[in-house]
């Protein structure tokens, strides 16, 4: 995701699920596991760069046997 005017671009849960090819219920499970997000009212927003980094770190630590 790019930045406009120095502000991070946030995407919806629906858009994130499409980009990651994951069911929205899986996204909710990842949120419970600590996926970075911002909750605005009842809605979640995600910075894709932060989510991508979190997923990369998570998969790398699992490959190393860390949890």
Q: Which of 45, 52, 53 lies closest to 9 in space, CA to CA?
A: 45
Query: Who contacts 17 (Cβ-Cβ below 8 Å, separation ≥6)?
Result: 23, 24, 26, 27
Stated pTM of the model:
0.78
Domain assignments of the chain as residue spans, ordered by start: 3-63
Interval 6-40: pLDDT, tens: 556 899 999 999 999 999 999 999 999 999 999 99
Query: Who contacts 56 (Cβ-Cβ below 8 Å, separation ≥6)?
Result: none
Q: Is domain 3-63 in CATH 3.30.1360, yes or no?
A: no
Residue pair 47/7 in contact by the 8 Å Cβ criterion = no
User: What would the two tokens of residue 26 be?
Assistant: 């899986």
Q: Which of 3, 17, 11 lies closest to 43 in space, CA to CA?
A: 11
Q: What pLDDT score does 4 carry?
A: 56
């Amino acid at each position: 995701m790019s930045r406009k005017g120095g502000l991070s671009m946030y995407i919806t849960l629906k858009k994130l699920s499409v980009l990651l090819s994951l069911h929205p219920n899986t996204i909710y499970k990842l949120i419970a596991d600590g996926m970075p997000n911002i909750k605005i009212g009842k809605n979640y927003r995600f910075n894709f760069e932060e989510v991508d980094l979190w997923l990369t770190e998570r998969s790398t630590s699992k490959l190393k046997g860390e949890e």
